């Protein structure tokens, strides 16, 4: 880079650098959380809203704050895991976060939840207003049929309460206008949420990566994934 | 989320007893209709096994439920979801136990059961046996199970184990050597049908037609960790040995000794139990819970 030789040139260089920086950070380059109210883009819905998680594999560093904050906020009982961060074993030795391939996964609040269809006591219900699948632990008899039915293994059986529990998308927080704790605590914006139809329209998003189940045959899950981009070597 | 298999031995016993009770009822039904010739005590043995076996199975299921003993008042809630196969099972098994108990009582008192009750019982018995298979075959997330041949295999196995158990009990009750050609013939065809269905079922899984995970499950059964159990206890003892015994008595003039036929019956009951065990133990979820890109 040329070193400016006069004050005019130095000021010009500073001004141009400032403009450049401002333009570069305006749109899309910094993580932004999508609030459901902003994400609500489709106006002519017939079936009602379906909220969804969005996970960007390029932004996740594997800090597991999503799972830890969920554990703290929802008091997971021993052995129960509502959300987990899993890593492709072939990237286990990676030092830099960008070389790791990660996925943070919980209940995907499917459009046709297998858990709800097999549960004999109707402990699962799907909220009409936002598509959240809520499980009523008070109704659960602990037959564990849903543990076999869920293709994402999102349900956990707790040996202490002898019931099944799962992620409820922080529906109580959402009812108060807040976002789920996992999305809130994600420091890089890797885990986001929004309306499914809206998130689906984002370029480069898919619903299945690697060995995950085929979404079209397992009850239409509400998860959108931005897959890992190949990095230049 | 990486937990051990959710269902253990109690569910295997429950599925087995459900099938055994249903099969015993069908045996009693067949004996009353005269399909098996005249074997003293066969109908009585069938009725004696049917209701208690299914009832014990249901009690075991209650023990297996996490809340079965902690909050038993939640159990009637299992009638809530009519789209759940388990709810259907709850209804079918409850009705079956009631009808089979009524039959047992009528038989005990030597009162002739009304015809419609006999047919209703037979229908419920078939429904019970089919339900134990359907419970598994509707689970899409376990590819090995997601095959509607399982209800048919379980129905054949239920008829076979019920027939064997009833024959054993009838022998124990009456202690007489009887002419069993008709029973053996029926039993041969039931086991033959079961073998063919099971062969198709395993072939669908091992060929990869049901996907890689079902293939892995089938490999576990045939050449993997479950292989010794499958080949020795299920295949040789529980399937081939009784098939050979009943085939001999069906197609040859010189009949095998009654004791050998009865040991074939014991083998059938063992085979029926190990079939349920193998299918439950070989379940592998469609997604392993790991990320492989």
B5-36 pLDDT tens trace: 889 899 999 999 999 999 999 999 999 888 88
DSSP state of B257: P
Nearest CA of chain A to the CA of B274: how many Å?
21
DSSP state of A206: B
CB atoms within 10 A of CB B143: 22
Q: For residue B1, give the nearest of A143, A151, A153 by CB distance.
A: A153
- Mutual orientation of helices B9-33 and B115-137 as an angle, nearest 10°? 150
CATH architecture classification, B9-281: Up-down Bundle (1.20)
Whether B188 contacts B243, CB under 8 Å: yes
Rounded Cα distance between A76 and A101, Å, is 26
Would the CB atoms of A114 and B283 count as touching at under 8 Å?
no
Residues of chain A with C-beta less than 8 angstroms from the C-beta of B140: 114, 149, 151, 217-218
Q: What are phi and psi for residue A162, nearest 5 degrees?
A: 55, 40
Nearest CA in chain B to A228: B293
Top-confidence residue, A217 or A156:
A156
Would the CB atoms of B84 and A117 count as touching at under 8 Å?
yes
Of B149, B155, B162, B119, residue with least CA distance to B33: B119
Residues of chain B with C-beta less than 8 angstroms from the C-beta of A230: none
Rounded Cα distance between A190 and A197, Å, is 19
HSE on the CB side for A213, CA within 13 Å?
28
ipTM here? 0.90
Residues of chain B with C-beta less than 8 angstroms from the C-beta of A85: none
Of A119, A157, A124, residue with least CA distance to B78: A119
Q: What integer pLDDT is reported at residue A42 of this predicted model?
A: 41
Q: For residue B85, give the nearest of A87, A118, A161 by CB distance.
A: A118
CATH topology of domain A48-226: Alpha-Beta Plaits (3.30.70)
Tens digit of each residue's pLDDT (9 = 90 or more) over A41-83: 444 444 578 999 999 999 999 999 999 999 999 999 998 999 9
Judge whether A78 is closer than 8 Å to chain B, CB to CB. no
Rounded Cα distance between B117 and B124, Å, is 10
**Domain coordinates in residue numbering, chain B:** 9-281
Whether A54 contacts A226, CB under 8 Å: yes
For chain B, the average pLDDT equals 92
HSE on the CB side for A98, CA within 13 Å?
5
Between A4-8, A91-95, B93-97, B154-158, the lowest mean confidence (pLDDT) is in A4-8
């Amino acid at each position: 880079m040329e070193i400016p030789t006069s004050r005019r040139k130095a000021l010009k260089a500073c001004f141009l650098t400032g403009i450049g920086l401002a333009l570069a950070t305006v749109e899309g380059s910094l993580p932004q959380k999508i609030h459901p109210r902003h994400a609500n883009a489709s106006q002519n819905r017939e079936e009602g809203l379906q909220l969804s998680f969005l996970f960007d594999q390029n932004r996740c560093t594997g800090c597991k704050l999503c799972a830890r904050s969920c554990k703290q906020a929802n008091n997971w009982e021993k052995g129960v895991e509502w959300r987990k961060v899993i890593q492709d074993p072939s990237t286990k030795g990676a030092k830099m976060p960008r070389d790791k391939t990660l996925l943070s996964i919980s209940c995907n609040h499917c459009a046709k939840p297998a858990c709800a269809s097999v549960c004999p006591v109707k402990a699962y219900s799907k909220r009409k207003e936002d598509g959240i699948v809520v499980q009523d632990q008070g109704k659960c008899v602990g037959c564990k049929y849903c543990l076999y039915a869920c293709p994402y293994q999102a349900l956990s059986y707790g040996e202490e309460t002898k019931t099944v529990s799962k992620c409820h998308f922080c529906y109580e927080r959402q009812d108060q206008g807040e976002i789920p704790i996992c999305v809130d605590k994600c420091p890089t914006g890797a885990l986001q949420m929004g309306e499914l139809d809206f998130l689906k329209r984002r370029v480069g998003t898919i619903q299945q990566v690697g060995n995950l189940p085929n979404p079209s045959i397992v009850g239409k899950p509400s998860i959108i994934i931005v897959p890992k981009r190949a990095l230049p070597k | 989320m990486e937990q051990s298999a959710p269902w253990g031995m109690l569910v295997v016993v429950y599925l087995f007893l459900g099938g055994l009770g249903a099969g015993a009822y069908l045996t009693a039904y067949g004996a009353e209709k005269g399909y098996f010739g005249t074997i003293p005590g066969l109908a009585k043995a069938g009725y004696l096994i049917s209701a208690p076996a299914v009832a014990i199975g249901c009690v075991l299921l209650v023990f297996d439920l996490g809340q079965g003993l902690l909050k038993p008042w939640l159990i009637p809630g299992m009638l809530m979801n009519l789209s759940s196969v388990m709810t259907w099972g709850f209804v079918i098994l409850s009705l079956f136990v009631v009808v089979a108990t009524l039959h047992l009582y009528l038989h005990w008192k030597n009162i002739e059961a009304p015809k419609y009750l006999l047919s209703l019982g037979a229908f419920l018995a078939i429904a019970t046996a089919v339900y134990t298979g359907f419970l598994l075959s509707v689970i899409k997330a376990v590819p090995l199970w997601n095959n509607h041949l399982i209800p048919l295999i379980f129905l054949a196995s239920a008829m076979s184990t019920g027939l064997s158990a009833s024959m054993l009990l009838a022998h124990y009750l009456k202690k007489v050597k009887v002419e069993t050609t008709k029973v053996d013939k029926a039993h041969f065809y039931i086991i033959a049908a079961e073998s063919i269905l099971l062969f198709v079922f395993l072939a669908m899984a091992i060929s990869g037609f049901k996907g890689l995970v079902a293939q892995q499950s089938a490999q576990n059964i045939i050449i993997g960790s479950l292989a010794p159990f499958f080949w020795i206890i299920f295949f040789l003892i529980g399937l081939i040995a009784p098939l050979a015994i009943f085939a001999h008595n069906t197609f040859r003039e010189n009949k095998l000794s009654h004791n050998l036929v009865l040991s074939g019956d014991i083998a059938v009951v063992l085979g029926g139990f190990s079939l349920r065990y193998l299918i439950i133990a070989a379940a592998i979820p469609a997604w392993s819970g790991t990320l492989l890109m």
